[in-house]
Structure 1
């Protein structure tokens, strides 16, 4: 695997400056961001923590294997490059990894998997909490080494400023015992009956979490229990972050039977305001916690697409519509066809730019 840092990390700051890394929430003015690439993307493999499925008229057919088509990768990179150009036009510094050969198989003493599949999702692997960068464990075998494309960037931040803290969470074994093999065989009725158990495809023994299950609101950090984050992962985050003055809260969305990443379910927009998913309400007691602290929830409108109208290989739900990016507390980036969401946000006082 060849890693090339596409943009130099800033020179060391003086002691009177803010740290090179200093990010506490999802809405403050964005100064710098890492955007991934689609180069070398493969189809995600079937494994104990994930069973990719086709949608629409192809539902039930075998999911493809091997590298994605060059035309697909080119189109994805064109869209990512467009996002980069937009962010740079707004004054944001963008840094990007370059990845070669990310489809290579993975073998450890505990498991083998035929290929990895992408390096397009830094948000899934890394999270910044103040001046601390945390590398998530990840929950799928095919994503075991997905931190590598970002290592040079993180090392650069760490070298540039002694106030930057860099923490890699303990890697789980990802052996057969870490997963519930029966999970994907349960019917929706069975999942509904178990919805308050919050037991998904990963067991509770090892520390497991994806960074994208975390959302930040200053000193308060909210972590979704899901298919990609278990209770041991939340407890590890609590023990790691509490001495640094942060408060870690678990959040749950009982009607989401396949929860994976919080950014299509619960999206803080600015202090006191959260965009919520009407299909996946937060647990009643947890909603009351926000209400007591003066936070308002606003349901996202219906997405532009149904689940079956989403791209046939996409593994996200139609609520990907909610996955916006805050550039400032007043300006957000949204997908261009989600016009109902644009109208809602503008009515709340936001400027909306689209990609």
Structure 2
């Protein structure tokens, strides 16, 4: 296969990595309470103790940056070009015509905001107020690609209002049985009235795009992705994980590592029937082992679950970066034939993710491939197609 010459080229999660963006913890703040998010401390009285506000302490930022820098050194040692965003002022209050928050959040997790689909970069709408303008940290990089790659396509998804009416604020008070009943209709904290999606709810399989319907991506967001991408030759597949009561971002639940292999979460199986796309095409779905930490043992300010353990980053179809404490997962990856690169990353957890979340790959070797020839896909709309 000839190597693509364009700067922007990434069709899946596993092809050999050539260029990537790694986040920074500079200027990070504690994420505020808002209709789309209710942060809580991981302490015995976490449900009632107040969550901190304002800028994070300097020593906390330094620890996270040290581990982010360690990931950069590893990637560069593997021949990967790494870029970093520049964090803007995040501590000042933010106000739009429809909402206000006391501060923004951080720019540690570019995966949540930005996604590369072939030769196209898409800026997601985002689903939380404190992250509304997070894309600004990446604009300088995007303009560099735009100015230097004439084949690049740059798309900015429509920004939602994030007004009170966009949210089901009662969602956070539903008892477990009510939440379970409603989630089968995918009723979460975001309503269906506006286009809403985080980029990290998307997983890329060449011509096929898998999108999780969740607290951070609604059906309107998935419909926008279908209308935008299907005329360009992609096939968009909504997926659901009905035992996940707070679904947000697919990369702690369903993680492809190479053609034919997906790491799966034993506590969050796919909705019955949705696994058939993979099984009919010979894919193996492998449950990961239990993480080394329980949810209660996660870092004090972390809002993600213990399943950050499976938030790994593929350097190639044979090389995977894994958090250093997750020895059971490392052993499984070794048995599956991967070369595993353990790195410390636990101090990054409280910024919204782990290794996959903290990165945004812009260039991987390879081209558009059809990994699902047995496919009942029906295009939403016909139009010009860019895939070969």
The reply to whether residue 290 of structure 1 matches residue 282 of structure 2 is no
Indicate the residue corresponding to 2:78 in structure 1. 90
Corresponding residue SS for 1:275: strand
Q: 2:40 aligns with which of 53, 58, 71?
A: 53
Q: What does residue 352 of structure 1 align with?
A: 340
Name the residue aligned to 1:269.
257
Structure 1 position 64, deviation (Å):
0.7
- For the 8 Å contact 1:26–1:217, the answer to whether it is kept is yes
Could you tell me which residue of structure 2 aligns to residue 206 of structure 1? 194
| Higher RCO, Cα 8 Å, sep 6+ | 2
Distance 1:95 1:17 in 2: 20
Q: 2: CA distance between counterparts of 1:250 and 1:266?
A: 13
SS at match of 1:147: helix
Find the counterpart in structure 1 of residue 10 from structure 2. Answer: 23
**2:149 match:** 161
The reply on whether 1:315 has 2:303 as its aligned counterpart is: yes
Question: Is residue 88–residue 137 contact of structure 2 (8 Å, CA) maintained in 1?
Answer: no
Per the alignment, residue 110 of structure 1 pairs with 98
Counterpart selection for 1:81 from 53, 59, 69: 69
User: Could you tell me whether the CA contact under 8 Å between 1:102 and 1:119 is conserved in 2?
Assistant: no
Task: Find the aligned partners of 2:72 and 2:33 in 1 and give their Cα distance.
Answer: 31
Any conservation in 2 of the 1:195–1:255 contact (CA below 8 Å)? no
> Match of 1:227?
215
Q: Does the CA-based 8 Å contact 2:252-2:307 persist in structure 1?
A: yes
Q: Which residue of 2 aligns with 1:138?
A: 126
Q: 1:303 corresponds to which residue?
A: 291
Q: What is residue 4 of structure 1 aligned with on the other side?
A: none
Provide the aligned C-alpha RMSD in A: 1.0
TM-score by length of 1: 0.94
Distance 2:277 2:249 in 1: 21
1:17 to partner: Cα distance: 5.4
Which 5+ residue runs of structure 2 have no aligned equivalent? 344-388
Structure 1 residue ranges, 4+ long, deviating more than 6 angstroms after superposition: none
Give the number of aligned pairs. Answer: 340
1:38 matched to which residue of 2?
25
Partner residue, 2:109: 121
1:247 and 2:245 matched = no
